[in-house]
């Protein structure tokens, strides 16, 4: 899995704009957006507009035992 950061704009329950940044692990950018949207809807936010998706690939460092 890779680490993602999804930047978006949402509307809160009062209809006010709310900048939202979601951080988490996902298999693909599409899954990261789906997870972000699910969490935003659970918080009562709507009209989700994705601005940008950042991906950081995890590197499995295999250390050498001496």
In tens, the pLDDT along 23-65 reads 999 999 999 999 999 999 999 999 999 999 999 987 666 656 5
Boundaries of every domain in the chain: 2-56
- pLDDT in the model for residue 1: 87
d(CA 14, CA 48): 14
How many angstroms separate the Cα of 33 from the Cα of each of 22, 44, 59, 63, 64?
9, 17, 22, 33, 37
Helical spans, DSSP H, in 1-66? 29-42
Helix (H, G, I), strand (E, B) or coil at 50: strand
State pTM to two decimals.
0.79
Taking the C-alpha atoms of residue 36 and residue 1, their distance in angstroms, rounded to an integer, is 16
Q: What pLDDT score was predicted for residue 61? A: 61
């Amino acid at each position: 899995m890779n680490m993602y950061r999804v930047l978006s704009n949402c509307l809160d329950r009062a209809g006010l704009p709310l900048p939202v940044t979601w951080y988490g692990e996902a298999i693909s950018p599409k899954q990261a957006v789906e997870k972000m949207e699910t969490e935003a809807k659970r918080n009562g936010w709507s009209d989700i507009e994705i601005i940008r998706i950042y991906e950081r690939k995890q590197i499995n460092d295999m250390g050498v035992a001496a």
